[in-house]
Amino acid sequence: EPESETEQVRTVCSYCGVGCGIVLEVARDAVGRRAVVRVKGDKAHPANEGRLCSKGATSAEMLAIPGRLTRALVRAERDGEATPTGLEAAVAEAGRRLRAVVDAHGPDAVALYVSGQMSTEAQYLANKLAKGYLRTSRIESNSRLCMASAGSGYKLSLGADGPPGSYRDFDHADLFLVIGSNMADCHPVLFQRLLERQRAGARLIVVDPRRTATAARADLFLQIRAGSDLALLNGLLHLLVERGEVDQEFIAEFTEGWEEMPEFLSHYPPAAVAEATGLPEADLRRAAEWIGGAGEWMSCWTMGLNQSTHGTWNTNALINLHLATGAICRPGSGPFSLTGQPNAMGGREMGYMGPGLPGQRSALDVEDRAFVEDLWGLPAGTLRAESGRGAVEMFERMAAGEIRACWIICTNPVASMANRGTVVEALRAAELVITQDVVADTETNVYADILLPAALWAEAEGVMVNSERDLTLSRRVVDPPGEALPDWQLIAKVARAMGFTEGFEYGSAAEVFEELSRAWNPRTGWDLRGVDHERLRAGPVQWPSADPGGPDRNPMRYLNDGVSQDALVRRDGTRPRLVFPTASGRAVFFPRPHLPAAELPDDDYPFVLNTGRVRHQWHTLTRTGRIARLNRLSDRGPFIEVHPQDAAALGVGEGDGVEVTSRRGRVLLPARITDRVRRGECFAPFHWNDLFGEHLAVNAVTSDAVDPISYQPELKLCAVALTKA
């Protein structure tokens, strides 16, 4: 009889950016085979203190999902059968063909499209290969669809990307303003923490065009007209000024740009804001009164603010409110963007989109380029001071024939990109499409010439960074199936196959991490010098971490203590309590006027379509859609929510097919009639795509108009026509 023994391994959830700690019970039989037999929340992890949502709790089932890609597949012809191929041969072919495209057409003919679900080590190597060795300016990530606007907004207002505080603030806030975020469904564990504080007396204001599960728990729900957030945020600040509830001392000491604000805000009186937002004036006044009266208050947001053609401005306007009330960088106060993916924070820190370089650096900055060339052992002048204009533009250039080869890692853009017709056109036009994934059948893999088999969560080791800057080591406890390998190893292998042998010889993910942690950035406070895989085996560490013997928790940024970033002494000899990594050391007010969305309803397309997610499912269903327990818990399939009065006018009943058309495409969805949505607006989740039936992909109709600063597409708002199918 084989004896079995079990061990407990601390690791991290692979779904959302809350980054909950997980303890795996791993059994090993007499011949050493290991299996995850139990998943439980890690009580010692600061992100969740033992809690897990349904997705995290079913993580073990993820390891047994059907359809795993266990061998490389190669198609001799684009529409032909994919042939199983030895990994070494497939990697060699990928390297040879990528090299041939670069040699024939130059580096910008090759693009990488990567993911916030990869480990930090894989993100780092993808960027190193793209910018340092291929010298292409074409590396983008799916964070462009998610947090790009929060990132560009933070950089302008505060000088660096990322929330200034941490989850600890949820335990101290007196008021939460949750705007454009369905936390209850999409960040459930953190929402539980918020509710605990609400039970202790804190107030919750929820702003959303749709009455979500989050809105159901609100003390004040502002069911705003889609796309009118800037009017609301400016209107709230107008009222705070009118009530005398701005913190003049904080403004004078730590900010710049306030002098323009009073005149600017005079254009947002309550009556005008009520008109623009569709909200009752009394509710606006109540919200301002509650914010002004709160000792400590936090704002939380996700896609509702980010997926907008003025997403960066939305972040700036929200931060204006914090700066004006002095509610930032204090326990219980601050703007807190809720990251969608488990390691989008790590990816942003690794610079995996646009001009980014490791350590929150930019290829547009001469000193940052020199620093990274030195880190990578490259000759001066290797890094280019150029970058593309986001993922939408990247696929447009591919469709136009300028980008001829792409390598898509750990993401499914045919399902997730706005106006996906352009992505399909691009992949069809490309000479070479390489995908790297854990499953064989995805909407994107259909277009691949070479499919590389990747390891899944718990089959690979690597560091994940959550929304509060916590680094947790995701542990390898079982072997990947067949020839599948961790993403970082596949990237290093293909790089070597292209002839880049020197920069990509690593024995382990820990070695890659050791190299990337040398990218310390004293300007922004990004500091991992005190962290390595060995330390992370004992538990998470929150950056900045300068010293291996230093504290594990560093919950507040921008303190002028020489730890958060370089200490500042002003010319007059004073040493402010806070220093922001802007040119002046001060946070910046930006007057951001309310502008309409890129596409508004008209006679031909009279409805506003909003898209999003449902509880118990994740993105394009490549994992959660194959987990029986989650499918039993969640909505069984796609739907479109239509207001009862609109449904009556259209002659549509519950469950009837609705044809949804926009200027870009059409989709057919069953109706769900509900007053959760406002009249004239409708909502559909983006989870269900081609694998579930024809004409289900809601991104066939969404808008790819982008924010001119963040290049994030306006996935949350486009004009559609609805007809009974």
34-41 vs 72-75, strand pairing mode: unpaired
By beta-carbon proximity to ligand SF4, the closer residue of 185 and 396 is 185
Q: How far is the CB of 412 from ligand SF4 (least distance, A)?
A: 18
**Distance between CA atoms of 531 and 541, rounded to whole angstroms?**
7
- Candidates 423, 361, 375, 464; CA nearest to 123 is 464
By beta-carbon proximity to ligand SF4, the closer residue of 16 and 432 is 16
Do 456 and 480 meet the contact criterion of CB atoms below 8 Å apart? Answer: yes
Name the strands in the sheet holding 541-542, side by side, starting at the edge strand that comes first in the sequence: 462-465, 470-474, 541-542
Q: How far is the CB of 304 from ligand SF4 (least distance, A)?
A: 18
Do 664 and 672 meet the contact criterion of CB atoms below 8 Å apart? Answer: no
By beta-carbon proximity to ligand SF4, the closer residue of 16 and 276 is 16
Q: How far is the CB of 39 from ligand SF4 (least distance, A)?
A: 10
Q: Which residues bind ligand SF4 (CB under 6 A)?
A: 13, 15-16, 18-20, 48, 52-53, 55-56, 187-189
By beta-carbon proximity to ligand SF4, the closer residue of 188 and 347 is 188
By beta-carbon proximity to ligand SF4, the closer residue of 55 and 97 is 55
With 0-12 / 13-18 / 19 or more C-beta atoms within 10 angstroms meaning exposed / middle / buried, residue 50 is: middle
By beta-carbon proximity to ligand SF4, the closer residue of 361 and 619 is 619
Q: How far is the CB of 181 from ligand SF4 (least distance, A)?
A: 13
Strand locations in 71-225 (E): 72-75, 82-85, 110-114, 139-141, 175-179, 203-207, 220-222
Q: How far is the CB of 341 from ligand SF4 (least distance, A)?
A: 10
Do 467 and 338 meet the contact criterion of CB atoms below 8 Å apart? Answer: yes
Sign of CA dihedral 690, 691, 696, 701: negative
By beta-carbon proximity to ligand SF4, the closer residue of 196 and 479 is 196
Cα angle, residue 335 at apex, residues 348 and 523 outer, rounded to 5°: 50
Q: How far is CA 686 from CA 224, 490, 500, 683, in A?
A: 22, 29, 39, 10
**Distance between CA atoms of 439 and 452, rounded to whole angstroms?**
10
34 is written with which tokens?
């290991």
By beta-carbon proximity to ligand SF4, the closer residue of 108 and 470 is 470
567 is written with which tokens?
């200490």
Q: How far is the CB of 59 from ligand SF4 (least distance, A)?
A: 8
Do 414 and 423 meet the contact criterion of CB atoms below 8 Å apart? Answer: yes
By beta-carbon proximity to ligand SF4, the closer residue of 184 and 426 is 184
**Distance between CA atoms of 496 and 125, rounded to whole angstroms?**
12
2 is written with which tokens?
């084989």
By beta-carbon proximity to ligand SF4, the closer residue of 168 and 666 is 168
Q: How far is the CB of 467 from ligand SF4 (least distance, A)?
A: 10
By beta-carbon proximity to ligand SF4, the closer residue of 197 and 420 is 197
Do 724 and 656 meet the contact criterion of CB atoms below 8 Å apart? Answer: yes
Radius of gyration of the chain (CA): 25
375 is written with which tokens?
């880190």
Cα 414 from chain centroid? 17
Q: How far is the CB of 188 from ligand SF4 (least distance, A)?
A: 5
Q: How far is the CB of 12 from ligand SF4 (least distance, A)?
A: 8
Q: How far is the CB of 624 from ligand SF4 (least distance, A)?
A: 10
607-612 vs 681-685, strand pairing mode: parallel
Query: Nearest to ligand SF4 by Cβ — which residue?
Result: 56
Q: How far is the CB of 579 from ligand SF4 (least distance, A)?
A: 32
SS3 of 453, please?
A: strand
Q: How far is the CB of 620 from ligand SF4 (least distance, A)?
A: 15
Do 633 and 185 meet the contact criterion of CB atoms below 8 Å apart? Answer: no
- Candidates 333, 300, 311; CA nearest to 206 is 300
By beta-carbon proximity to ligand SF4, the closer residue of 21 and 351 is 21
**Distance between CA atoms of 584 and 572, rounded to whole angstroms?**
14
Q: How far is the CB of 26 from ligand SF4 (least distance, A)?
A: 19
By beta-carbon proximity to ligand SF4, the closer residue of 127 and 302 is 302
**Distance between CA atoms of 568 and 335, rounded to whole angstroms?**
23
Q: How far is the CB of 627 from ligand SF4 (least distance, A)?
A: 12
By beta-carbon proximity to ligand SF4, the closer residue of 188 and 332 is 188
DSSP string, 198-246: HHTT-EEEEE-SB--TTGGG-SEEE-PPTT-HHHHHHHHHHHHHHTT-S
